[in-house]
Structure 1
């Protein structure tokens, strides 16, 4: 059974690994009662691409994976854990990340240079390597989706999507999963995100496409304005669908790009919606900007404003907070002719209050998705960003977080 079909791209009802990919996840003992370690593996080396946090305190596994992918743009496996970020852990942390890479390669019978490492969790603590080694001994090559829960921290649920489409007459599968709930203000990608596909494309081309698409998806979400030390998204394409190697001049390339965008966009929005303590997804569309970059800037400023986020939580149509967020940017704005809509209801016209039905507006802001539309009246540029409301629960979660 399928859920949706868009532009010849079918969204599958259940998470499905592309041809040649295997995975597993388990509780290794890094935390109690939850899966905390997993891996994914391709039968053959896959073209690989990645983007990584811009935080200056980049974690050891993030550094190692970046170096590994940039060397050849190929990977065959990813080993990952939650509960411990292996960040700000010095020389020992770097050695531990390298050990995870080497041990995984040894168990799978592949070169260490084909293994990436990803960690997430508490910052500043050394990994208990005995627990990691024992966990590796129990990981299997299966088709289950346990790895999608093994990477979660404060997330309420996994973020997963699987789609299918045709390239060169061959059925291609693309599946993505991600974690992210707090410390979400990416300047590259998401907290941890992984996309696998059996399409055939070179690593260099995949890297170019990923870098482009991240700016339109993951870089346009924010939960709390904090950028993690461990953010990364990695894409693997093993070519086992046997399509012709994709290049930008092929007719099917646009289909692949559309599919890739759908997966990344879905994961990005899922992360925003699952922000720590969040009760609402906030989507902002900006039109009438001087250009696309300025529209993107304004959209992200709005969803990133704590005052806007708090108003959305309180179901308060305090549009002055949006004006403040817009005005703090460097974007070109026709300050006398800005318009704003909440869920299609006009609330600001020509930069002044518009008449609206208070009860209708209150009911609209009580919905689980609040869509804000802003017209800057300064050009043809458009942009979009996603965030969430700021709730009492966010403070409670982070006040009680172990350190």
Structure 2
């Protein structure tokens, strides 16, 4: 399969448009209301936060997963979470106005929100913004404006897209996402983290779309960690409008596997971009576990290391602190034998079979100044592997979150 990377994020697939406007939810005139629109009604599958405290827009979108969807309205600056009956009414109002101005059937729009928790939306501003963005999207297709409209503490846009051939048809997938803090996914279908919008023009049975998204999430957004917190609002949506006019995929055949591979690669690139843009982050670390007895053991150890604040602060300080890594392995509740374990930093084994390698520790110390680092734990007891992407924990993370309301 030849996979070509292209520009455009969610606007790359045929029939999809997106843009964003400012309606006054954020100070300074920054864009804060975005819209995705498909000319053709879409099948949609999704995944939502595992947090038991779910915001009103999350609950409403979950209820509409069985509907044909033509639009997604998304705002930043206010999470519309813990806002009671008024919040529920506001979420419905946002989708209702979107449907009204785009002349869509009732129930054909979804909603997502991100920002401050516990404050009601300023609905006169939101209503003005929805009318404005619905009018603009008929003539404007601007993924940069959409990406800006969904950002909170993000410092850069996160847009990825690709195209590939299925028979004589060209199929495209696009992703636009946001996320920098409150990032510790434990993604299963209908449980996810961050705001991730995925569009595709492929023709595929909805049950297979569901399976494809589940697999892609397992290898991407389910394997990242920024700060060990899970948001109340996080949403992953995959919309498919069939505009590529490929032969409809009705079984797990070669075309299905090509799509899954492409979707997974895009999700991995987007997930890694979220970690790189983690609040205050300077470095990204791949924690890879090899030769574990079980997948469960490999996952436990990878997560323990990736989520450890002591490990993350050592990375920030350029310290090859193998003792903190070993401590995390020890409390992970995974099966291992310290006399077989080898821990390496960028290929330099700093701990071998229960003893530190002093010569390699000096070499690893020089590697710690890199922006991308690989921690490898070889357990030497089995054949299972797992990985997680994480980042360092800096002074700036504390500064950002010490002043962020909610």
- What 5-or-longer segments of structure 1 have no aligned partner? 1-6
What's the TM-score, normalizing by structure 2?
A: 0.94
- Equivalent residue for 2:212, pick from 193, 201, 209: 209
Q: Which residue number corresponds to residue 92 of structure 1?
A: 86
1:223 to 1:152, Cα distance in 2 relative to 1, 3 A: same
Question: Residues of 2 paired with 1:254 and 1:45: CA distance?
Answer: 24
Instruction: Indicate yes or no: 2:195 matched with 1:184.
Output: no
**What root-mean-square deviation, in Å, do the aligned CA atoms of Structure 1 and Structure 2 show?**
1.4
Instruction: Indicate yes or no: 2:243 matched with 1:245.
Output: no
Checking the alignment, whether the CA contact within 8 Å between 1:165 and 1:172 is kept in structure 2 is yes
1:43-122 maps to which residues of 2 (within 5 A)?
Answer: 43-69=39-65, 71-72=66-67, 74-122=68-116
Off by >6 Å, runs of 4+ in structure 1? none
Q: Deviations over 1:48-100 (max 9, x none)?
A: 1100001111000001001111x34x311100000000001111100100000
3-state SS of 2:254 partner: coil
- Equivalent residue for 1:28, pick from 20, 23, 26: 23
Q: Which residue number corresponds to residue 3 of structure 1?
A: none
3-state SS of 2:239 partner: strand
Checking the alignment, whether the CA contact within 8 Å between 2:8 and 2:174 is kept in structure 1 is no
3-state SS of 1:84 partner: coil
3-state SS of 1:112 partner: coil
Q: Deviations over 1:158-179 (max 9, x none)?
A: 1110111111321111110111
1:292-303 maps to which residues of 2 (within 5 A)?
Answer: 292-303=295-306
Checking the alignment, whether the CA contact within 8 Å between 1:190 and 1:268 is kept in structure 2 is no
Instruction: Indicate yes or no: 2:34 matched with 1:38.
Output: yes
1:273 to 1:76, Cα distance in 2 relative to 1, 3 A: same
Q: Deviations over 1:281-324 (max 9, x none)?
A: 11111111112233223212211110110010001011111111
Q: How many residues align?
A: 395
Q: Which residue number corresponds to residue 148 of structure 1?
A: 147
The worse-fitting range, judged by mean Cα deviation, of 95-104 and 23-32 is: 23-32
- What 5-or-longer segments of structure 2 have no aligned partner? none
1:330-369 maps to which residues of 2 (within 5 A)?
Answer: 330-357=333-360, 360-369=363-372
Q: Which residue number corresponds to residue 198 of structure 1?
A: 201
Question: Residues of 1 paired with 2:308 and 2:99: CA distance?
Answer: 44
What's the TM-score, normalizing by structure 1?
A: 0.95
Question: Residues of 2 paired with 1:249 and 1:399: CA distance?
Answer: 48
1:338 to 1:297, Cα distance in 2 relative to 1, 3 A: same
3-state SS of 1:175 partner: strand
The worse-fitting range, judged by mean Cα deviation, of 240-249 and 162-171 is: 240-249
